[in-house]
Amino acid sequence: MPNNPIPVIAIDGPTASGKGTVAAKVAERLGFHLLDSGALYRLTALQALRRGLELRDEHGIAKLAEHLPARFVGGDIFLNNENVTAAIRAEEVGNMASKIAALPTVRQALYGLQLGFRETPGLVADGRDMGTVIFPGAKLKVFLTASVEARAGRRYKQLIDKGISANMDDLLSDLKERDERDTKRAIAPLVPAADAHLLDTSAMTAAEAVEQVLAWYAHP
């Protein structure tokens, strides 16, 4: 829909770069809808794990994705009527999500679902290929990143705050593996769009990052 007048802000970046927090706050400030595309992959991964589907069953996983009973209510994420906001943040689910995101049929199954989130007055879409694949005509594209050490530190704090035990070395290793997988995959690799604004948040607060994105949106 190249002529769609509904504005989109695409915020892409690697795992734990803070893009989810920034996207949610930008959407709140502008009164826009929010698409957490990573949550769709995590929901698909959660469904696949619960049903015992293996990674090689690409067709079966794609079918799950195509008919995903997902709902976003405020800051909560529902699968049917079950609140799975916490469940999809488990490391096992995140790892599975990163792997199935490399499956072409799964990406295609979720493509139309993601386009459907574009509604008035506008959309803030966060993920890994929002500006390059899903919304290439977005009014503003931002590629949010941070050093792997900063991202591991944030993830560690998130987990500890939720009462979940975490090991910094394991988190560093996990993030490096995910970065490698996401940037090297054949389909929609994690790369900045050619016209994206690059924002390194290693030494920034979420509030500072939000203000920068809003400034870019106000003065493109």
Asked if residues 111 and 187 have their Cβ atoms less than 8 Å apart, the reply is: no
The answer to whether 163 is a known ligand-binding residue is no
Mean pLDDT of 108-117: 90
Neighbours of 202 (CB within 10 A): 14
- At residue 1 the predicted structure's pLDDT band, cuts being 50, 70 and 90, is very low
Q: Does 2 have pLDDT greater than 70? A: no
Residue 154, φ and ψ in degrees, nearest 5? -65, -45
The answer to whether 16 is a known ligand-binding residue is yes
The answer to whether 20 is a known ligand-binding residue is yes
- CA proximity to 105, closest of 150, 54, 66, 163: 66
What angle separates helix 104-115 from helix 37-50, to the nearest 10 degrees? Answer: 130
Strand order in the sheet with 70-73: 70-73, 76-79, 82-83
- pLDDT score of 200: 96
Phi-psi region of 145 (alpha: psi -120 to 50; beta: other; left: phi over 0): beta
The answer to whether 19 is a known ligand-binding residue is yes
pTM of the model: 0.84
Extents of the domains making up the chain? 8-218
- CA proximity to 199, closest of 128, 141, 136, 133: 141
pLDDT digits (tens, 9 = 90+) for 21-55: 999 999 999 999 999 998 999 999 999 999 999 99
Domain 8-218 has CATH 3.60.20.40: no
Q: Indicate the average pLDDT of the chain.
A: 91
Question: Please, what sign has the CA dihedral across residues 177, 178, 184, 187?
Answer: positive
- Window from 23-32, 68-77, 112-121, 134-143 with minimum mean pLDDT: 68-77
- At residue 181 the predicted structure's pLDDT band, cuts being 50, 70 and 90, is confident
Q: Does 220 have pLDDT greater than 80? A: no
In the chain, pLDDT over 90 holds for what percent of residues? 68
Using CA atoms, how far apart are residues 103 and 203, in angstroms rounded to an integer? 34
Going from the C-alpha of 61 to that of each of 80, 85, 160, 188, 203, the distances in angstroms are 17, 20, 31, 18, 38
The answer to whether 116 is a known ligand-binding residue is no
Mean pLDDT of 62-66: 93
The answer to whether 184 is a known ligand-binding residue is no
The answer to whether 14 is a known ligand-binding residue is yes
